Amino acid sequence: MKKIELEIVALSHSITQTHSYAVVLGEVNGLRRLPIVIGGFEAQAIAVALERMSPSRPLTHDLMKNFMMAFAVELHEVIINDLQEGIFYSKLVCSSEKDTVEIDSRTSDALALAVRFGCPIYTFDNILDNAGILMEGDTKKKKSSAEVTNEIGDKNNLKALSLEELDSLLSEVLEQEDYIRAITIRDEIKSRTKG
């Protein structure tokens, strides 16, 4: 089967499930989108890596990357290889000096590692046909990180706060390691200080 390359085009609160998020993967040079519901921790891990934030202590996926690098294991690609009863299955294609192996992984964890390693993400036509969404027209434009993070946080509530309150809130959410909310607050501060 021919592999189809995907890229992360959006990360937002899941409309269908409370306390969940959706990562939307888009077909590279195509119009199909693959929405995948993930947990809050994994959404945070993906957002931190996408925004190139540096947490004070390594998150689990950072630890995994550090571990792999310490033992000269490279992550070459992530393949979303199966869909059963609404659950996506993925594998990590890794190699060391002596061997190449495929490791079973939750898709959310695989995506968090793919962002950290900068490796490609692939799937197959049958998965896109079964769970994908076809976008019409010229809507395949990749969203900017600001557009993605605006979908995550409630931006309207932030507009009511002063810069001082935003700075205080940013410190608070960083202490709680809520990096998704921190990105939204940071963007709001940036938009005000530019003008």
CB-based contacts of 181-184 (< 8 A; 24+ apart in sequence) = 181/152, 181/153, 182/53, 183/47, 183/51, 183/53, 183/145, 183/149, 183/152, 183/153, 184/149, 184/150, 184/152, 184/153, 184/155, 184/158
Are 75 and 117 spatial neighbours (Cβ–Cβ below 8 Å)? yes
Q: Which amino acid does the sequence have at 23?
A: V
d(CA 144, CA 60): 26
Give the pLDDT band of residue 147 (cuts 50, 70, 90).
very low
Nearest of 110, 128, 130, 105 to residue 120 by alpha carbon: 110
Average pLDDT over residues 160-179: 77
**The pLDDT value given to residue 124:** 97
Higher pLDDT: 41 or 73? It is 73
Q: In this predicted structure, what is the pLDDT of residue 149?
A: 40
pLDDT digits (tens, 9 = 90+) for 104-146: 999 999 999 999 999 999 999 999 988 888 876 544 444 444 4
Q: Quickly list DSSP for 73-122.
A: -EEEEEEEEEEETTEEEEEEEEE-SS-EEEEEEEHHHHHHHHHHHT--EE
Mean pLDDT of 97-107: 96
**Rounded CA gap, 61 and 55, in Å?**
12
What class does CATH assign to 4-152? Answer: alpha beta
- What are phi and psi for residue 71, nearest 5 degrees? -105, 20
Does this model's pTM top 0.85? My answer is no
More confident call, 133 vs 62: 62
Domain boundaries, the chain: 4-152, 153-195
Q: What are phi and psi of 116, to 5 degrees?
A: -70, -40
Residues in the chain: 195
**What was the pLDDT predicted at 141?**
46
What is the pLDDT at residue 140?
Answer: 41
**What would the two tokens of residue 17 be?**
């499930």
Q: Is the pLDDT of residue 94 over 50?
A: yes
Q: 69-95 as b/e, with b when 16 or more CB fall inside 10 Å? A: eeeebebebbbbbebeeeebbbbbbbe
pLDDT tops 80 at residue 156 = no
- Tell me the pLDDT tens digit for each residue of 2-56: 999 999 988 877 655 667 788 989 999 998 999 898 988 899 899 989 888 888 8
CA distance 8 to 79: 14
